[in-house]
Amino acid sequence: MTFPLSFRPGFQIVPVCNLTTPEEASPLGGALLAGGIPVAEVTLRSPDALVGLKRLAGVDGLTVGAGTVRTAVQLRRAVDAGASFVVSPLLTEGLALAARDAGVPFLPGAVTAREIQLAVDAGFTTIKFFPAEPSGGLRVLRALCEVFPEVRFVPTGGISAATVLDYLAHPQVVAVGGSWMLPQGLRAAGDWAGVTAEVAACARLMASSP
């Protein structure tokens, strides 16, 4: 199943949450909701990320997915923990099959023409362009878009408030992923009002995107 989140103002952004501890899940979910972006991608980068994902998925009104999913086993565990969509930095046959079996929207990652073509051959029409900035950013993405006019992209990696609108202005960019609206410093300090303010600023930016 390709990635059918209906991207519209407020949903043109996929906040990437690297939860440092499962205890962060509840206040972080509250900050996302209060700031006006009711979506979260929890990255599977720490041993108890699934515990955090499960808690976040329990926050009413929040659409929660799993990110950094590299294997079919991880995908199944993420869905069992409550992920309603799955994002990966790559694509393998095993992942594509597991996503189909689980019936969840799946966003595979690709950054080269070959990887994009393999994803297209596997039936995917929306692809995460990752890692966006280290791979050449908008300049490289523009060139790839010309080669793949039928593909829609969700660039992620190194994107900030300063660059997000430039990405979203491209007609083949349907959404952008990033973690800049959930600053680690504010979270470590327990400044959830500050995190909410960052999320709200991001939501306003999204709303200003044409």
Identify the residue whose tokens are 């909410």.
196
Question: Which is nearer to ligand 3PG, 16 or 59 (by Cβ)?
Answer: 16
179 lines the binding site for ligand 3PG (CB under 6 A): yes
Token pair 């930016």 is at which residue? 205
The edge-to-edge listing of strands for the beta sheet with 63-67 is 106-107, 86-87, 63-67, 39-43, 13-17, 176-178
User: Angle at the Cα of 10 (from 153 to 31), degrees rounded to 5?
Assistant: 120
Q: How far apart are CA 73 and CA 96, in angstroms?
A: 12
Provide the minimum distance between the beta carbon of 155 and ligand 3PG in the complex, in angstroms, as a whole number.
10
Residue 16: helix, strand or coil by DSSP? strand
Site string for ligand 3PG, 40-69 (x = CB under 6 A): ---x-----------------------xx-
**Span from 57-65, 152-160, 166-174, 192-200 in contact with ligand 3PG (CB under 6 A):** 152-160
Which of 15, 35, 108, 177 is the binder for ligand 3PG (CB under 6 A)?
Answer: 177
Q: Is 128 a catalytic residue?
A: yes
Give the one residue of 62, 178, 199, 202 binding ligand 3PG; rule: CB under 6 A: 178
Catalytic residue among 23, 24, 54, 128: 128
Q: Does 155 bind ligand 3PG (CB under 6 A)?
A: no
Q: What single-letter DSSP state applies at residue 124?
A: -
- Whether 41 is catalytic is yes
Of 177, 209, 154, nearest in space to 4 by CA? 154
Residues with catalytic function: 41, 128
- The site for ligand 3PG (CB under 6 A) is made up of 16, 43, 67-68, 130, 156-159, 177-180
